[in-house]
Amino acid sequence: MRSSIVTCPSPTNATPPEGVLTEANVFGSSTQLPDGTGEDFAERSDGQVRAVDPRRGRSSVKPVSVSVTVPTGRADVYGFLDVLANHEGFTNHMLVDWSYAGPPSGVGARARMRVKKPGRADWINLEVTDAQPPRGSTEESVSAAGRRRTRGTYSLEELPEGGTRITFELAWLQIPLIERLAAPITRAVVRRGNQRSLDRLGEQLRKGDRSHESAIE
């Protein structure tokens, strides 16, 4: 369901510092251990999991927010965004190799994808953690081998003149040190990528591409 900097290299031809999530809408998932302790864990390359101290790398980076206005009604916008597979079509300029698990929509819907960037693969696990039809939804992610955790929130505002304002806010719950030190660049790159995602979403909605909408009761 987003700082000013002196220079900001184009994400299409420049590589940010190691660990920076290039143009990311940062979908992913925050998971608890089966015993309910609430510890976070990260998947390693060998398929094993390791506990991650949730206090390590806690973020002081300000959230990034972007928005777009579309003529589509709020219920229809929510119905489109509620189906997690629909997100691939407007974020695949930065997130690729999607796979899905769990229900196709609503709380518990999960996806795994890779950040589109050179170098070592940065996999993201995403899970929808809250759904408030037709007002919006929240998703949480784990990436950078468990060192980055984010929360993304889609808010849908019904406009008096018709249409919907879609706002997406990305908040860092935990962030690698190098990204925290380069916070202005990190936020600028993420803002640019997320704005492009919402612009592409707006284009799809204006064209009436809502073939995979969920039903809103």
Q: Where are the domains of the chain?
A: 40-206
Instruction: Tell me if 187 sits within 8 A of 207, measured CB to CB.
Output: no
What tokens were used for 36?
Answer: 């309910």
CA distance 103 to 87: 15
**69, 38, 54, 65: which is closest to 165 by C-alpha?**
69
Greater confidence (44 vs 10) lies with 44
pLDDT of residue 208: 83
pLDDT of residue 169: 98
User: Has residue 173 got a pLDDT over 70?
Assistant: yes
pLDDT of residue 11: 34
User: Has residue 29 got a pLDDT over 70?
Assistant: no
The tens digit of pLDDT for each residue in 1-12 reads: 333 222 233 333
Worst-scoring range by mean pLDDT, 14-23, 73-82, 95-104, 196-205?
14-23
Q: The domain at 40-206 falls in which architecture?
A: 2-Layer Sandwich (3.30)
At 60, the pLDDT band (50, 70, 90 cuts) reads confident
